[in-house]
Copies of this chain bind each other. A is one copy, B any other.
């Protein structure tokens, strides 16, 4: 109820405005790599491993027809590819192409840097506290892993 005598705002406004901020930064970063935010997100998700279309739809919270379009466009740009799923003739596995992986491995850390810069005015313990609190919020609300944590991105789960 008491909000901004000294710049203090409610938790709702704080969440909405920080969302607006992160959206803008993410979009801007993607733009500079020739990506849209959605395509950037797709690449980030696929960094860890290939996904089926339905699975991707669940992670990105998209209707299946929306996802077909997104993968179509990203595939047309040469960043992802569809492969038949050996276990199920109906299904496809979407994975990064070499070019897509290269791009993701530039885009992802650069975007991390930019997001990381947003709370730069907070000291280390405050940043940790923020991460912990927000982390609990996303955990409590079962947010899909739409952005891998550090260490999950580049080197760990890859080879084939």
Copies of the chain in the assembly: 2
A133 B136 Cβ-Cβ under 8 A: no
Within 8 Å of chain B (Cβ to Cβ): is A61? Answer: yes
Stretch at the interface among A49-57, A66-74, A121-129: A121-129
Given A21-B143, A150-B2, answer yes or no on A135-B15 (Cβ-Cβ < 8 Å). Answer: no
- Tell yes or no: A3 within 8 A of B by CB: yes
**Residue of A7, A115, A130, A137 with most chain B CB atoms under a 10 A cut-off:** A137
Instruction: Tell me, in angstroms, the Cα distance from A137 to B7 when the chains sit together.
Output: 11
Question: What 1/0 mask marks residues of chain A from 143 to 155 whose CB sits below 8 Å from any chain B CB?
Answer: 1111111111000
Q: B149 and A3: CB pair below 8 A?
A: yes
Identify A133's interface contact among B126, B135, B137, B156, CB under 8 A.
Answer: B126
